[in-house]
Amino acid sequence: MPAPPSLLRPRDGDALRAEIRRLAGTAGAPVVFGGEVDADTLRLTEFSGVRTNGLRGLSVTRASGLGGRVVDSCRPASVSDYGNALSITHHYDGPVLGEGIRSVVAVPVVVSGRSRAVLYAATRGGGPIGDRTADALVQAGRRLAAEIGVRDEVDRRLLLLEAAAPTPAIDGAVAEEVCAVQAELRAIADAAGDERMRDRLREVGERLDRALVGKPAEGAPRLAPREIDVLLQVALGCSNQEAARRLSLGPETVKSYLRSAMRKLDVRSRYEAVATARRLGVIP
């Protein structure tokens, strides 16, 4: 699964392994396995219920076998008699039939129109895979695609942040863009399922602040993370209702955070709050 090297991004293989373990208990199939796609090649790495080592580490090229067909089409596919199926190539009959597999369904994990992994469920008996198993596999593929999509977006945002050149003075347009990036970065942090990722994202955001506006002025009030979230939205021109929607908070909660920030900044309006917070280096 191609991704730029990142200390922040957890291994996508770990998320794949978690889905395989979950499927092993819910899919109702004796054999469940899968792998990541890198440079159009699927490599099988995660297994449950296998009896041999034939499939471990197997590399499946695009359009070859059932998995390669799924990678190429970005659509699920199945065969009820693998050894005699006419709809696939038979480059991998040795390890597949050596495992005793006959009926198998494969589901791609599609992110931004590209297969990033493939999940399989298989039986050693004849007959097609049941709907319950196929549905479980599809749902697992969607969960994994959503998780990978979030991680990709985090990496994209980090690259944008790294590309931002430090400057002692920020004009209005740049300040607004920095606020937008900060607000989205915090929203991604809140949506991330990994606690370590959330903490690192907020740390990166704070580093961006320090790089662009320097350390907060001596004696500047220390605002809570949610108070900063709300101020960033206000700096972008959002109403309380818009800020609430973007932050997945209630409007009254947004008002409460804004009032608290205004009290700490010793100002009487939302506009004064933004201006003062910027002057003190609390927000970009």
pLDDT tens digits for 143-193? 999 999 988 888 777 776 665 544 444 455 666 666 677 777 777 777 766
Decide: residue 61, CB within 10 A, 0-12 exposed, 13-18 middle, 19+ buried.
Answer: middle
Please state which architecture CATH assigns to domain 164-279: Orthogonal Bundle (1.10)
pLDDT of 81 strictly over 50:
yes
How many angstroms separate the CA atoms of 191 and 270, rounded?
26
Q: Where do the structural domains in the chain lie, given as residue ranges?
A: 12-148, 164-279
Beta strand ranges found along the chain (DSSP E) = 31-38, 41-48, 59-61, 77-79, 103-111, 114-123
Span 219-250, pLDDT tens digits: 778 888 889 889 988 888 888 998 888 888 88
Distance CA 66, CA 134 (A): 15
Rounded to whole angstroms, how far apart are CA atoms 88 and 64? 7
Give the pLDDT band (50/70/90) at residue 215.
low
pLDDT, tens only, 10-67: 789 999 999 999 999 999 999 999 999 998 899 999 999 999 999 999 999 999 999 9
CA distance 246 to 237: 12
Burial group, residue 2, by CB count within 10 angstroms (0-12, 13-18, 19+):
exposed
DSSP 5-18: --SSSPPHHHHHHH
> Sign of the C-alpha dihedral, residues 125, 127, 129, 132?
negative
Q: Please count the other Cβ atoms lying within 10 Å of the Cβ belonging to residue 240.
A: 20
Six token digits for residue 141: 């593929």
Task: Using the structure block, give the residue that is written with the tokens 């493939």.
Answer: 118
What span, in angstroms and rounded, lies between the C-alpha atoms of 66 and 178? 46
Determine the pLDDT at residue 43: 97
CB 261 within 8 A of CB 283: no
> CB under 8 Å to 14, separation ≥6 — which residues?
none
What is residue 48's DSSP assignment? E
CATH topology of domain 12-148: Beta-Lactamase (3.30.450)
In this prediction the pTM is 0.59
Instruction: Summarize the confidence of residues 264-269 as an average pLDDT.
Output: 91
**What does the mean pLDDT of the chain come to?**
84
8-state DSSP, 129: P
Separation CA 201–CA 4 (nearest Å): 16
Tens digits of residue pLDDT in 101-148: 999 999 999 999 999 999 999 999 877 899 999 999 999 999 999 999
pLDDT band at 216 (very low <50, low <70, confident <90, very high): low
Strand partners, 103: 123
Tell me the C-alpha distance between 28 and 164, whole Å.
50
Task: Give the span between the Cα atoms of 249 and 159, in whole angstroms.
Answer: 28
**pLDDT score recorded for residue 168:** 47
- Tell me, what DSSP letter sits at residue 88? S
What pLDDT shows up at residue 89?
95
